[in-house]
Structure 1
């Protein structure tokens, strides 16, 4: 969860402030308690603001604690210039929150303060009411978005290799990334993966291979997939871990095609394991890694991971089955194995995973990490650019499951050796295909659209939301 600052704003007349101070603190206690119960860390202003000096001092104290979001709280009438001073000392996102207790004009105070902020162009959002579940959820969505956006600044993206197969949508302007998101891009040659793989510890490679053989189904064919090739793929994972640690990479993307896929091995195993919350060594944090060095894809995934705290699906929009209104989201092995069952137990996920020999596109061979994504409600998103300006595509959907025969029929219509997610999207197919700005799409479990909408607003990016015809 997020770190949230709470500052209550009061009346500037000392005799009035003395009379309402306990009332303010009582309302503040309820708000702070509700936010903490939701899992947030709350940094509380040392006292209600009732003067110019206090406004600046308290706001600076809260800001110095590194909060993701600051809530300016109005339980009573509050002098608006206190808000202006506090806001000036608070660089992060603001929420103005009014109590609606009719005994005191807190709503009046919020509106006066909000209008003053509007006049100087200081962005903020407004909420009102008692700190019930609905209000806490609204503040949580904003705080989670603020935390995700804040985490981008000062981070480093490791771009291993260049543009794959002429795919313009995988390449972003590094100056634009620095300006908009505060992200540095470290360019790394794919030779680093080859060099480090060849120097990997043979005992680790064997341990990783045996882990897959024990928990998943490995379809060795003696040519495209052998124990030696699987160990080489595990070596590429070890190589990536070394690069990530040594160069302090916060998220990454690997080109792979065509150099590695034609002359070394595919990166499917490495990419799946990096995005998983575990590997053959035990539990770990997912590391966002996008195949085909897809920069905007990796950026979308990093934001969604920060919000959902789960691995993020990466897939091609492979096919639309019009007779079923089902999209086949399929990519050559990138899907984290966690999506097979979405379980905390890797054995449960890997029991549904098959390592198949790579197909004709990848002559170097290796394993494709195949499974069918487990069913459930999903949020799908993608950052793309229209005439150079970023926009956020956003929609809700459901991953569907079918009986074995139907699943077999559907997978064989595309590439059965690859992982698939069968999705029913809250989007009309003609509309989606007419304006979706990439071939890659990303998903996390649940409905995190409120957080993603807030992300777009905080980044100053246009929201491009898909819905069904006639839907609200």
Structure 2
């Protein structure tokens, strides 16, 4: 993405001139500025840049100023709307009427002209008009003009902003289905109405054979392919082959499979976001991509009983690094499981971290563990544990090799070091 949606701050004021509005102008605008300072300090877009905020040009005391604010928000690519006020104001005249923007109101908890009254009245107006809005209110009373944001209000402001930005970033993007329904998995029956009505996204589709076509016709960047293959040979460890002896491929066949999955990885990414380098090769249409924030690859069964499967491509795309260095992950759901993909998308947009796609295979009770191993779990595993097994797109970020102090974590890509990338790769076969 080149342009991310901004958060718009609407300072709402009692519009009665002659002493009331004048006494509240500075307090109200400072309240908006304090929220901007919080957001720009604490929130990041998926590329790591601080979140951008826009404040209305003036406090909003009536419909004229509300309209001017809406016009500014339209020009400035505002995707999330937060109204703040320390006082009673005229609700239906000052509320945000844009039906597409996620909205919240912070009503200041004070006693002089309580923001709680505006908060309650205007939330009711939002409900009456079918325009959902979230209410934010502090537990403790503050003095008028106090610019400190209490911890409980701070948490609510940040939670709303993260969720609102996730909604705004999703809007207008695509889910790209590569293939169709996998092995009867209901989650891979892609429901276009759900994506459009609930997420504001559109759906794109290509047949799995498009990957094969691009491999056979060399529709990928040849220079990047050389880099990618050399990097893969150096950093991606080939694991033990557990196939029966009669089914084990020879060295040449395995090398060809490595070449295939590297090309496949590049092509799946190009299908999602496009690749301007393809224009130089005469593939202008393929260079555009499908504007996909999320994709899924059917794989099973027809593809994977015939060709190398998607595990390498999915795992690497979902990681925060590849042969081009450290970068934001590309979200790809294994087996075209769009609903699990949406869960990955939500978590990614809320945390800016890569996502693990894994099957919940088995619950191991302490008694079952003791029966098969002779060892009884203790500590955090004393009540047993769930066994998760990679079903394709489990990110390499999930190897436990990224650290904060001595604690294993998963980080936003801009916090990951080259040493941690190397450790994640060495922990993976």
**Alpha-carbon distance in 1 for matches of 2:317, 2:400:** 17
- In the alignment, which residue of structure 2 is the partner of 1:218? 238
- Aligned-partner SS, 2:231: helix
Q: Does 1:113 align with 2:122?
A: yes
Match of 1:31 among 28, 32, 35: 35
- In the alignment, which residue of structure 2 is the partner of 1:370? none
Change (3 A) 1:208 1:56: closer
- In the alignment, which residue of structure 2 is the partner of 1:434? none
**Alpha-carbon distance in 2 for matches of 1:204, 1:7:** 47
**Alpha-carbon distance in 1 for matches of 2:76, 2:99:** 11
Deviation at 1:22, TM superposition (A): 2.5
- Aligned-partner SS, 2:304: helix
**Alpha-carbon distance in 1 for matches of 2:297, 2:256:** 22
Deviations 1:95-143 (A, max 9, x none): 1112223333322232232333333333111112352343222111111
**Alpha-carbon distance in 1 for matches of 2:391, 2:131:** 45
TM-score by length of 2: 0.75
- In the alignment, which residue of structure 2 is the partner of 1:349? 424
Q: Which runs of structure 2 are paired with 1:380-459 in the superposition (5 Å)?
A: none
- Aligned-partner SS, 2:96: helix
**Alpha-carbon distance in 2 for matches of 1:87, 1:162:** 41
**Alpha-carbon distance in 1 for matches of 2:188, 2:98:** 38
- In the alignment, which residue of structure 1 is the partner of 2:212? 194
- The count of residues paired between Structure 1 and Structure 2 equals 352
Q: Does 1:81 align with 2:98?
A: no
**Alpha-carbon distance in 1 for matches of 2:159, 2:13:** 26
Contact 2:261 2:310 in 1 (8 A): yes
Change (3 A) 1:24 1:259: same
Contact 2:320 2:327 in 1 (8 A): yes
- In the alignment, which residue of structure 2 is the partner of 1:11? 14
Q: Does 1:334 align with 2:405?
A: no
Match of 1:243 among 244, 251, 271: 271
- In the alignment, which residue of structure 2 is the partner of 1:306? 349
Q: Which runs of structure 2 are paired with 1:81-100 in the superposition (5 Å)?
A: 81-83=92-94, 86-89=95-98, 91-100=100-109
Deviation at 1:310, TM superposition (A): 1.3
Deviations 1:255-301 (A, max 9, x none): 11122212121111111111112112222321111111111122221
- In the alignment, which residue of structure 1 is the partner of 2:245? none
Q: Does 1:43 align with 2:46?
A: no
Q: Which runs of structure 2 are paired with 1:231-310 in the superposition (5 Å)?
A: 231-244=259-272, 245=274, 246=286, 247-250=289-292, 251-310=294-353
**Alpha-carbon distance in 1 for matches of 2:124, 2:93:** 13
Q: Which runs of structure 2 are paired with 1:355-394 in the superposition (5 Å)?
A: none
Match of 1:168 among 163, 174, 186: 186
- In the alignment, which residue of structure 2 is the partner of 1:102? 111
**Unaligned 5+ residue runs, structure 1?**
355-472
**Unaligned 5+ residue runs, structure 2?**
44-50, 139-147, 242-247, 275-285, 367-380, 403-415
Deviations 1:321-360 (A, max 9, x none): 1225211111343211121135323211001011xxxxxx
- In the alignment, which residue of structure 1 is the partner of 2:280? none
Contact 2:108 2:115 in 1 (8 A): yes
Deviation at 1:228, TM superposition (A): 2.2
Change (3 A) 1:337 1:79: same
Change (3 A) 1:157 1:205: same
- In the alignment, which residue of structure 2 is the partner of 1:409? none
Deviations 1:376-434 (A, max 9, x none): xxxxxxxxxxxxxxxxxxxxxxxxxxxxxxxxxxxxxxxxxxxxxxxxxxxxxxxxxxx
What is the root-mean-square deviation of aligned Cα atoms in Å? 2.5
Contact 2:5 2:169 in 1 (8 A): no
Deviates most, 206-215 or 226-235: 206-215
Deviates most, 286-295 or 172-181: 172-181
Change (3 A) 1:17 1:224: farther
Contact 1:216 1:352 in 2 (8 A): no
TM-score by length of 1: 0.68
Contact 1:2 1:144 in 2 (8 A): no
Deviates most, 37-46 or 221-230: 221-230
- Aligned-partner SS, 2:388: strand
